[in-house]
Amino acid sequence: MANICTLFTAIFLISALLFHVSSLASVVSTGDFNKDFFVIWAAPGHVNTSADGRSTSLTLDTVSSSAMSTKDKYLFGQFVMKMKLVPGDSAGTVSAFYLISDPYASRDEMDFEFLGNVAGEPYSLQTNVFTNGYGQREQRIKLWFDPTQDFHTYSILWNIYHIVFFVDDVPIRTYRNHADQGVAYPMEQPTSAQICIWDGSSWAPVKIDWSKAPFIASFKDYTIDACVWKGDPSDECRADGPSNWWNQDRFSTLTPQQIEQYQWVMKDQITYDYCTDNQRFNGSIPLECSLPKY
């Protein structure tokens, strides 16, 4: 599902290039939004970052949506963000944490998208994976907690073997590298990590009630341990040496405990899976759906 936040990425690509980093190595982020991120799009007063840079909030109202991006771009690594979602009646809003490459038309993208709800109903978490500009790989789950009451941890492990989405260390989705069997996998394009809040009324079943605005999503305590891209072809980010711990063989699949957790999510928490939507694909389910998940 394309969204306004990723469109902002295309529009402001030139701005992102101003922050290009010339090194290529594993890095643990500073955890400081003031140092690691810049504002892609927001009206004045819509991005509020603490003085120490450890936390920030993004606002959506009738004036503006809000989005931020890392200054660096990365190829493989672990990306972790703590989020507290919009409380109350948030129907029609979308809060997101995601990785995205450019150019937009042929992008690779890995999404956490939190679909706002009518007050009292559970939040829906949608994940998606784009490869070379093609998505249509949506999965949705119901969260087993209220994500508006406190911060929870959402993370993406992206390596040469698979992509794993985690919620509070519970794997909720995998997308394996089956490129040798003809399935597209993001291997070449470096991505930035981005956060945003935007108006999803154009497709949401319930439109935004603007009388409830402003809508505020909060973010803090992020960590990025990933290979920083310097802008030219290199195999260094694909190596499995000590600095690229995520590419080591022990991270090539889920552990037995993680498999058990993943199976629980697939059994009890999932509400939509493109792999079971025969009508959408006219009975021709995408190839990766029939291949191993871990």
Number of domains the chain is built from: 1
Q: Is 121 a catalytic residue?
A: no
pLDDT tens readout for residues 130-181: 999 999 999 999 999 999 999 999 999 999 999 999 999 999 999 999 999 9
Dihedral sign of CA atoms 97, 103, 109, 115 in order: positive
pLDDT at residue 131 in the model: 98
Rounded CA-CA distance 259/254 in Å is 6
Q: Is the model's pLDDT at 8 over the cut of 80?
A: no
pLDDT at residue 243 in the model: 85
Residue carrying the six token digits 């792999």: 275
- Residue 51 maps to which CATH number? 2.60.120.200
Catalytic residue among 109, 138, 188, 236: 109
Q: Is the model's pLDDT at 30 over the cut of 70?
A: yes
Mean pLDDT, rounded, of the chain: 91
% of the chain at pLDDT higher than 70: 90
| Contact yes or no for 228/25 (Cβ under 8 A) | yes
Which of the four pLDDT bands, split at 50, 70 and 90, describes residue 3? low
Sequence-ordered list of residues with C-beta below 8 angstroms from that of 17, at least 6 positions apart, any chain: none
Q: Is 236 a catalytic residue?
A: no
How crowded is residue 269: how many other Cβ atoms within 10 Å of its Cβ?
Answer: 16
Mean pLDDT (whole number) for 8-25: 41
Question: In the chain, where do the E strands start and end?
Answer: 26-28, 37-41, 47-49, 55-60, 66-70, 74-84, 93-100, 109-115, 124-130, 139-142, 152-158, 162-167, 170-176, 192-199, 215-228, 270-273
Nearest to 196 by CA among 291, 65, 101, 79: 65
Q: Is the model's pLDDT at 222 over the cut of 50?
A: yes
Q: Is the peptide bond before 44 cis (omega within 30 degrees of 0)?
A: no
Expressed as residue numbers, the domain containing 45 is 4-290
pLDDT tens readout for residues 234-270: 678 988 888 899 999 999 999 999 999 999 999 999 9
Mean pLDDT (whole number) for 193-215: 93
Catalytic residue among 113, 121, 236, 260: 113
Query: Can you give 268-282 as a three-state secondary structure string?
Result: HHEEEEHHHCCCCCC
What global pTM score does this model have? Answer: 0.91
pLDDT at residue 202 in the model: 86
Which of the four pLDDT bands, split at 50, 70 and 90, describes residue 200? very high
Helices (H), 169-253: none
Give the distance from CA 133 to its chain's centroid.
Answer: 15
